[in-house]
Amino acid sequence: MVRDSFFDHLLYEKRYSSHTIEAYRCDLLQFQSYLNDIYDVNSEKQITYAMIRSWLASLIELGTSPRSVNRKLSSLRTYFKYLLRLDLIEVNPVQLSVSLRTPERLPSFATKREMEKMLTSITDDSFSDRRDLIVLEIFYNTGIRLAELEILKEKDIDFYTNTIKVTGKRNKQRIIPVSNLLTTKLKSYLALRERYALSGVEELIINDQGSRAGRNFIYKLVKKYLTQAGVTGAKSPHVLRHTFATLMLNEGADLNAIKEILGHSSLASTQVYTHTNVEKLKTIYKQAHPWAQKKEES
């Protein structure tokens, strides 16, 4: 029942990433498999709210996290909204479904000391060392996503203005300023990259064979160095994105500026980083507010 035209709609109209589309595909096929096992359904018109609710309940019984259940529900919402728009169904069976409450999940990030330890532990004796270091430096200095670095090309770097052009979700582009130090390191890396890159490979980051470094390659690279640096909790490129945002906020950067650099669609996504400022705000309050000072003196 899942229609291929829906995935074309996500790719060409919604401009979703291939990763997101694959997640939608898996969710819908899982739902279809459930319907085939439990119900006698031959078309989307026969699907009811009760069937969807039954599937969601079965996921919860299997121990699926509320966050994952909500994502699958979101996949169904988007799919049936698409069918309704094309008049392929008369009633949207998902419209009564309510998302599960999920506990607030604060982002994991590395400390400044952990980042310094990680970056200084890498030598530049070989191409792979210099490539690894530039990957970590770009994440730490720009906060870009893994998918964005994966497709970043040399032509996206403007050495005259010290900026890089990043293509984010739904092909939205943004300009991110970078430091003189990073551009200097990029020039050094690119000079060495020319000797290793295979003909026709445009991506900035390449693997040891000279081909485009894919998502898994970059992910494993980052995880290795975060582990070696003793970072606890999650170890992924997204941790470096969180680290960048947390550092910028702690150093006094405007929340709206961080939002633009990260490519967030709304300020609500950026506000999650304000949790790291609580202790700093307490210190400022004690130093600045006269009542707090009096309490300290008494």
CATH of residue 28's domain is 1.10.150.130
Task: Specify whether 129 is located in the same domain as 235.
Answer: yes
Note whether residue 107 is domain-resident.
Answer: no
- Identify whether residues 246 and 173 lie together within a single domain: yes
Q: Are residues 77 and 128 in the same domain?
A: no
Extended strands (E) in the chain? 157-158, 163-167, 173-177
Asked if residue 249 and residue 181 are part of one domain, the reply reads yes
Q: How far apart are the first and last CA of the chain?
A: 73
> Structure tokens of 149?
């670095």
Q: Which of 130, 193, 212, 264 is catalytic?
A: 264
For residues 157 and 269, membership in a common domain is answered with yes
Number of structural domains in the chain: 2
Give the pLDDT confidence score for residue 272 in this predicted structure.
72
Establish if 293 belongs to a structural domain.
no
Q: Does residue 180 sit in the same domain as residue 268?
A: yes
Active site residue 264: yes
pLDDT at residue 298, as a whole number: 46
- The one catalytic residue in 71, 169, 174, 223 is 169
Q: Are residues 116 and 187 in the same domain?
A: yes
Domain hosting residue 30, numbered range? 4-85
Asked whether residue 276 falls in the same domain as residue 198, the answer is: yes
* Phi (first) and psi of residue 203, to 5 degrees: -65, 145
Catalytic residue among 9, 131, 145, 193: 145
Question: Is 238 among the catalytic positions?
Answer: yes
Considering the domain boundaries, does residue 260 fall inside one?
A: yes
| 101 belongs to the catalytic site | no
Same domain assignment for residues 197 and 129: yes
The answer as to whether 43 is a domain residue is yes
Tell me the CATH number at 244. 1.10.443.10
Looking at residue 294, its pLDDT comes to: 52
- The predicted-structure confidence for 175-200, as pLDDT tens digits, reads as follows 999 999 999 999 999 999 999 999 99
Strand pairing report for 157-158 and 173-177: unpaired
Encoded tokens for 158: 């403007």
Q: What is the pLDDT of residues 241-286, one digit of tens each?
A: 988 988 888 888 888 888 899 988 888 777 777 655 555 556 556 6
Please check whether residue 95 lies inside any domain of the structure. Answer: no
Residues 45 and 118 in one domain: no
Residue 96 maps to a domain: no
- What are the C-alpha distances in Å from 14 to residues 4, 82, 98, 105? 15, 11, 23, 27
CA distance 133 to 118: 9
Same domain, 40 and 131: no
Residue 202 in tokens:
């445009």
- Torsion, Cα 278 273 139 143, to 10 degrees, reads -130
Q: Flag whether 37 is in a domain.
A: yes
Based on the residue annotation, tell me whether 15 is a catalytic residue of this protein.
no
Is residue 174 annotated as a catalytic residue, yes or no? no
Counting as low any pLDDT under 50, the low residues of the chain are 295-298
Q: Is 132 helix (H, G, I), strand (E, B) or coil?
A: helix
Same domain, 261 and 162: yes
- For tokens 């529900």, name the residue: 73
From the candidates 130, 131, 185, 238, give the one annotated as an active-site residue: 238
Confirm whether 270 is domain-assigned: yes
Residue 229, both tokens:
């640096």
Residue where a domain terminates, one of 85, 100, 129:
85
**The dihedral formed by the CA atoms of 153, 154, 160 and 163, expressed in degrees to the nearest 10:** 30
Look-up of token digits 């898994």: 216
The single residue of 72, 185, 193, 241 carrying the catalytic annotation is 241
Please give the structure tokens belonging to residue 76.
């169904």
Catalytic, 49? Answer no
